[in-house]
């Protein structure tokens, strides 16, 4: 004796919620008439959804393992991207428009009231900052005991992975990267805030060759860097000397960080790649990085001088604003136009 249509409907809802339109769901329920158990019907549903291309390989694997939670209100999770210190990051599809977005889910094992407050504050800031060079934030929500944000999806990878996979950027490409990132940071600075957490993984490289800043970072006003609230040694490759010295961190601190990012972009290595976190932090305060020409031949000497001015230990000796940085880098970007 086959399952009743109501039972089939309930079973399909568990397996395929959010994957098909209503008429497709009705067509499926009419077509599949198993004589076995609900588990048998669920397997038939999965096979059907696979044939229709409605499931990614990752989804299919997870569903066969019994995972049923693949929708967060308006979005269907279709594949993991990465897990960071604070977020699980997924590729997701908007259920109504079909648009592919990025969903960043706050890790439950990291959740504290302070972290949730910071998460929501930065989401509000990012959604309000106007820049074509900053990833758009579409929404921030709470569902299934989960805090998450929905971001624009940039088809490509981050700068670190790009350089590791394809080698250092040319000076013209690095200049284009620097200009786009500087203009995004300038929009953040215009709000009286600093990024404070810039590193190559925060710069996205699109498949079309564009560059975008992934988020607004710490999004805090200028002030003394508080090591107790930051995993600073985890990202010791990218720390301004004044932060390490527990001095006031300002917008020109982001200029130092952008210099470090561009150093990696043209050489393939961080400015101070060896040693422990403490040793790297000490080097930021006391040492000069190796001349990029000793790592990669043919780098324009004037470009290296621009990097040195961005990365000088004395904040007052750096370029004064991100607009200055963009203007300084424009001469190399123009070469490719």
| 104-163 confidence digits (pLDDT tens) | 999 988 899 999 999 999 999 999 999 999 999 999 999 878 899 999 999 999 999 999
| 5-29 confidence digits (pLDDT tens) | 555 555 555 555 556 566 666 666 6
Place 316 in a pLDDT band, splitting at 50, 70 and 90. very high
Q: Is the pLDDT of residue 35 over 80?
A: no
Q: Is the pLDDT of residue 234 over 70?
A: no
Place 1 in a pLDDT band, splitting at 50, 70 and 90. very low
Distance CA 147, CA 141 (A): 6
Q: Which of 109, 111, 129 is nearest to 119 (CA)?
A: 111
What are the strands, taking DSSP E only, across the chain?
71-72, 75-83, 87-94, 100-106, 137-143, 146-152, 156-158, 203-206, 211-213, 223-224, 248-249
Task: Name every residue whose Cβ is closer than 8 Å to that of residue 118 and which is 6 or more positions away in sequence.
Answer: none
Q: Is the pLDDT of residue 233 over 60?
A: no
Intervals of CATH 1.10.510.10 along the chain: 156-336
For residue 102, what are the β-bridge partners?
A: 91, 151
Averaged confidence pLDDT in the chain: 86
% of the chain with per-residue pLDDT over 90: 62
Structure tokens at 246: 């527990």
156-336: CATH homologous superfamily? Transferase(Phosphotransferase) domain 1 (1.10.510.10)
pTM for this model (two decimals): 0.81
Intervals of CATH 3.30.200.20 along the chain: 71-152
Amino acid 48: pLDDT:
75
Q: Is the pLDDT of residue 71 over 90?
A: no
Where is pLDDT greater, at 114 or 62?
114
Amino acid 240: pLDDT:
94
Distance CA 323, CA 327 (A): 6
Mean predicted confidence (pLDDT) in 199-204: 96
Q: Which of 196, 65, 52, 186 is nearest to 131 (CA)?
A: 186
Q: Which CATH architecture has domain 71-152?
A: 2-Layer Sandwich (3.30)
Mean predicted confidence (pLDDT) in 276-286: 92
Mean predicted confidence (pLDDT) in 246-275: 96
Q: Is the pLDDT of residue 41 over 70?
A: no
């Amino acid at each position: 004796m086959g399952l009743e249509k109501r039972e089939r409907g309930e079973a399909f809802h568990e397996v395929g919620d959010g994957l098909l339109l209503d008429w497709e769901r009705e067509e499926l329920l009419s077509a599949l008439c198993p004589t076995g158990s609900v588990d048998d019907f669920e397997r038939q549903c999965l096979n059907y959804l696979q044939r229709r291309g409605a499931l990614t390989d990752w989804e299919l694997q997870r569903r066969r393992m019994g995972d049923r939670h693949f929708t967060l209100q308006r979005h269907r999770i279709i594949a993991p991207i990465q897990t960071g210190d604070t977020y699980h990051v997924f590729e997701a599809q908007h259920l109504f428009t079909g648009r592919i977005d990025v969903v960043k889910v706050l890790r439950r094992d990291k959740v504290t009231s302070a972290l949730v407050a910071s998460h929501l504050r930065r989401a509000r800031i990012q959604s309000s900052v106007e820049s074509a060079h900053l990833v758009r934030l579409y929404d921030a929500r709470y569902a299934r005991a989960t805090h998450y944000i929905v971001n624009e999806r940039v088809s490509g990878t981050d700068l670190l992975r790009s350089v590791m996979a394809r080698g250092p950027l040319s000076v013209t490409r690095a200049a284009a990267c620097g200009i786009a990132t500087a203009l995004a940071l300038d929009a953040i600075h215009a709000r009286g805030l600093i990024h404070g957490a810039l590193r190559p993984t925060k710069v996205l490289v699109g498949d079309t060759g564009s560059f975008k800043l992934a988020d607004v970072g710490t999004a805090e006003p200028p002030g003394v860097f508080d090591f107790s609230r930051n995993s600073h040694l985890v990202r010791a490759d990218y720390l301004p000397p004044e932060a390490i010295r527990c001095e006031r961190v300002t917008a020109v601190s982001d200029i130092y960080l952008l210099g470090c990012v561009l150093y990696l972009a043209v050489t393939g290595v961080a400015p101070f790649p060896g040693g422990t976190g403490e040793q790297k932090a000490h080097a930021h305060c006391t040492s000069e990085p190796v001349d990029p020409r000793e790592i990669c031949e043919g780098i324009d000497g004037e470009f290296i001088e621009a990097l040195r001015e961005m990365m000088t230990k004395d904040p007052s000796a750096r370029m004064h604003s991100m607009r200055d940085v963009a203007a300084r880098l424009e001469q190399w970007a123009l070469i490719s136009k």
